[in-house]
Structure formats: structure tokens, C-alpha cells
Amino acid sequence: MRHNKSKATLLVIVMLAISSSCDSLPLERTIRDSLKGSKPYFTSPQKMSRRFIAEPAGKGVTARFHCHADGNPTPRINWLKNHQEMDASNIRIDKVRIKKWSLILEDLLPSDSGLYTCIVGNQYGSINATYELEVIARVIKIPRLQSGLPKNQTAYIGDSVTFRCQVQSRDSLAPHIQWLKHTSTSNNDVGDAFSLLQREWPKHPEWNCVAMTRNLFEKSPFICIAPETDIGQPPIDPEKLRLTNVTFEDAAEYTCLAGNAIGIARRSAWLTVKRPPGNILFTHPNFMKL
């Protein structure tokens, strides 16, 4: 008899130790629930404090709603959207995952906006919680280039030069980046050319740079510079233009052009090429001491 009583005492001590060593509900509720049925309760209410969720629309963007709960017997969970059962009429079935006590929406669209309610219940009662989701459509704009880039540069004959531009806002449409070398020094010619590009670029997504200049200009005020690539690979870094072994012929104005289906943005810089100090040209076999 004493042996059985010792076992019972030990069991209570172990239960108390477990209860005090972790962030669980009070021991009294745990014991009560184990002895009789109980209404469901949320086990992690701190994870449910954020009931309004705003997310941008886009591929890879997800929203998660948590309703972790327990009870005796273990309750069942059901989800509603705008107070109605979720089905193909009000959700995108292929973009919804239910993971035990959580609802996950993937690749959010504005149509996913609404009220999402979890209802958790067993024969002793039910509880519920509602989340509000607002999916914000992205406003697609012309790409925006960082000011101050590219920078004017001065180099000696035979040097290598790297120009860099940076797209700051890409929105949901990745811009195409193209480097141009100006062949005209007339500001009017260049300004008119870019005004024409601004109008025509969005209409002809199938044009590459060469087709664009050929179709729009009798005599283009600039030439297209092919991006630096590894053989058979996409451009290494389209935001950079690298010129190697420069000569006086490379001295010109260069423009970084970024365009999408809405329009184009551009920023330019000058390259000035000088003779090396002492007028000794060692960097090209055709040069000799002057």
C-alpha cells in the first residue's frame, strides 16, 4: 500500500516539474482536462495578437493565420472566408494549404483579401478567431535609377573602365537594361531620340536594342553595346559596363537605359581618354614612344 502511494506521489512531483519547466497552461487546468471533457482553448494566443495583415500581391508572397488550440477531446478546426465555407467559388484551391492549426495562402492576389475565421470545436463547445487580410496590388511604374550613377570617368589609353548604374525600384516587372554609346553630340538629336524611345519601347517588347535603333532611326544617335557574357550564358551583370584597353575612339557619352512595359529611364556619364603621363604608350603594340 505504501509502495503504491509512493508511486502516486512521485507521479504528481514529475507532473509538477514538467509544468514548471515549460510555458504551458497551469497544472490545475491540465489535470482537470485529463479527468473530464473540456471546451477548446487557444494554446498560443500571443501568436494571434496580429489580426490585421496587409501584404503586397506577388508570386512567392504568403499569408499565414494561426489558431493553435487544444481541448478534451482534441477539437476539430474549420476555416471560413467572409463567413462562408471555403471552396472554389471564393478561394484559389491550388494556392491554399491547411497545416494542422494553420491556414496558409500562397502567391497572393488582391482577390485573396477578406476575413478568415477559424472555428475550433468539440462536443463541449467552440471558439473562433477572425483575421483580416488586405492584399495590395503593386503599382507598376517606370524603373527608377539611382542618382549619381553612372559617374564620369577619366582614363589613360590602354586602361580598363567600368561604368555602373543601379535600378532602385523594379516593382513587379523586371526591367531590361541596355547600355548605349552616343555617336551624336547634339543634345537635340539625343533628346528627340529618347522621347521617341519613351513612346515606342512599351509597344514593341519583341525588339532588342539593334532592332529598336534600326526600326526607329534612319541614323541613330547612339549604338548598342552588347552585354558582357560568358559563352552561352545570360549577361554577367547588366548594370555594369566594362570597357577594356580603351582608346581615343572610346571617349564618348554612355547611357544606362532601363525599360519595362510602362516606359524607360536613363542616366548618362562621360568617358574622357588621355595619353599616359610622359607620352609613353606601352599598353598597345601599335603605340610607340612619341
Q: Are strands 96-99 and 176-182 parallel, antiparallel or unpaired?
A: unpaired
* pLDDT above 70 (res 20): no
* pLDDT above 80 (res 35): no
Res 27: pLDDT: 55
Whether residue 124 is found in the same domain as residue 149: no
* pLDDT above 90 (res 95): yes
Mean of pLDDT over the chain: 82
**pLDDT per residue over 171-186, tens digit each?**
546 688 999 999 987 8
Beta bridge partners of 97: 104
Query: Of 34 and 206, which is predicted with more confidence?
Result: 206
* pLDDT above 70 (res 10): no
Q: Does residue 108 contact residue 63 with C-beta atoms inside 8 Å?
A: yes
**Mean pLDDT, rounded, for 33-56:** 84
| Residue 251 backbone dihedrals phi, psi, to 5 degrees | -65, 115
Res 169: pLDDT: 65
Q: Which run of H or E residues covers position 167?
A: strand 167-169
Q: What angle do CA 196, 199, 202 make, to 5 degrees?
A: 125
Report which of 216, 180, 172 is spatially closest to residue 198, judged by C-alpha positions: 216
Res 189: pLDDT: 84
Question: Residues near 37 by Cβ (< 8 Å), separated by ≥ 6?
Answer: 71, 72, 73, 122, 123, 124
Query: Of 273 and 20, which is predicted with more confidence?
Result: 273
Please give the DSSP secondary-structure letter assigned to residue 151.
-
**Is 266 within the bounds of a domain?**
yes
Res 142: pLDDT: 85
Whether residue 155 is found in the same domain as residue 272: yes
Which CATH number fits the domain that encloses residue 119? 2.60.40.10
Question: Residues near 7 by Cβ (< 8 Å), separated by ≥ 6?
Answer: none
**pLDDT per residue over 185-196, tens digit each?**
788 888 899 999
Q: Does residue 25 contact residue 105 with C-beta atoms inside 8 Å?
A: no
3-state secondary structure (DSSP) of residue 288: coil
Whether residue 115 is found in the same domain as residue 213: no
Res 12: pLDDT: 39
Beta bridge partners of 132: 52, 115
Q: How far is 128 from 48, CA to CA, in rounded Å?
A: 11
Q: How far is 197 from 257, CA to CA, in rounded Å?
A: 10
Q: How far is 228 from 234, CA to CA, in rounded Å?
A: 9
Whether residue 236 is found in the same domain as residue 173: yes
**Is 285 within the bounds of a domain?**
no
Q: How far is 28 from 140, CA to CA, in rounded Å?
A: 57
Written as one letter, the residue type at 67 is C
| Residue 257 backbone dihedrals phi, psi, to 5 degrees | -115, 125
Whether residue 151 is found in the same domain as residue 41: no
Whether residue 154 is found in the same domain as residue 101: no
Res 253: pLDDT: 96
Res 139: pLDDT: 73
* pLDDT above 60 (res 286): no
Written as one letter, the residue type at 262 is I
User: Order of strands across the sheet with 222-225?
Assistant: 153-156, 264-274, 252-259, 176-182, 222-225
Q: How far is 4 from 105, CA to CA, in rounded Å?
A: 53
Q: How far is 227 from 238, CA to CA, in rounded Å?
A: 6
Res 137: pLDDT: 83
pTM of structure: 0.53
Query: Of 235 and 45, which is predicted with more confidence?
Result: 45
Res 288: pLDDT: 36
Query: Residue 249 is part of which domain span?
Result: 144-279
Residues above pLDDT 90, as percent of the chain: 50
Q: Total domain count for the chain?
A: 2
Domain boundary among 108, 136, 164: 136
Q: How far is 272 from 253, CA to CA, in rounded Å?
A: 9
Res 13: pLDDT: 36
* pLDDT above 60 (res 154): yes
